[in-house]
Amino acid sequence: MAEASPTRMNLLLKKRQVEVATSGAELLKNKRDALLGEFMKIIPELLQKKREIDKDMQRAIKTLVVTLGVDGPEELRSASFAAKKEYFIKVLEKKLWGVKFSEISPADGRKTILLRGYSPLSVTSRIDDTADDFERLVDTLVRTVPLEIKMKRIGEEIKKTTRRVNALEQKIIPEMKEQIAYIRRTLEDREREDKFRLKRLKAKRVK
């Protein structure tokens, strides 16, 4: 930081800058604490979603293996070609302490046999169960992804905010306080010198 000219105006200016920087550091710490609270709330929810994904994936793969073994890949492939693939979601852009993230409101991806696009008479119950299990898995994945993205962005913002707080408290504010101390010392030295000169002038006049 450039050395300030030792004037009373600069002394007042530096004092004001320290007040602003200190206030800014407090606001940033409040922001960091609020983001950290949100971060900690996401963790158990995300862990629960991960467990659901593992459970749904195991169920879906198990059902798929059985269906492939009994009905064969051709029957399964034929049903998959006929099935409807649309999956509609609503994306909402939100902000939390300046952090942008998306919230996804998915429609339920699971369909009834009549809505899957293939004829109920052309597939076995195993094929339909396979479709149901994989629709459940996709639904859980879609609901989990926004949580992961939100958590990542909040984590990055916490790091960024912490760096700013550290920069203010450990570098910028101490440097400004050093400048204030320097200006005060210089002004006090000048004041003593002025008093000393005045005394000498008075002494000369008396003589």
Torsions phi, psi for 90 (to 5 deg): -115, 120
What's the pLDDT score for residue 3? 64
pLDDT in tens, 120-144: 677 888 888 888 898 889 888 888 9
The larger pLDDT score, comparing residue 95 to residue 174, is at 174
Structure tokens at 47: 């862990």
Residue 2 has pLDDT above 60, yes or no: no
- Average pLDDT rounded to a whole number, residues 109-117: 62
- Rounded Cα gap, residues 178 and 193, in angstroms: 22
Q: Secondary structure of 105-149 in the HEC alphabet?
A: EECCCCCCHHHCCCCCCCCCHHHHHHHHHHHHHHHHHHHHHHHHH
Torsions phi, psi for 106 (to 5 deg): -80, 145
Amino acid at 92: L
What's the pLDDT score for residue 127? 86
What's the pLDDT score for residue 193? 80
pLDDT band at 92 (very low <50, low <70, confident <90, very high): confident
- Average pLDDT rounded to a whole number, residues 21-35: 95
- Average pLDDT rounded to a whole number, residues 47-57: 95
Average per-residue pLDDT for the chain? 85
Quick count: other Cβ atoms within 10 Å of Cβ 140? 21
- Average pLDDT rounded to a whole number, residues 77-95: 76
For a pLDDT cut of 70, what percent of the chain falls above it?
86
Per the document, the length of the chain is 207
Residue 115 has pLDDT above 70, yes or no: no
What domains lie within the chain, and their CATH numbers?
8-198 (1.10.287.3240)
Residue 167 has pLDDT above 70, yes or no: yes
Instruction: Output the pTM of the full model.
Output: 0.74
Contact indicator for 148, 46 with CB cutoff of 8 Å: yes
Quick count: other Cβ atoms within 10 Å of Cβ 161? 23
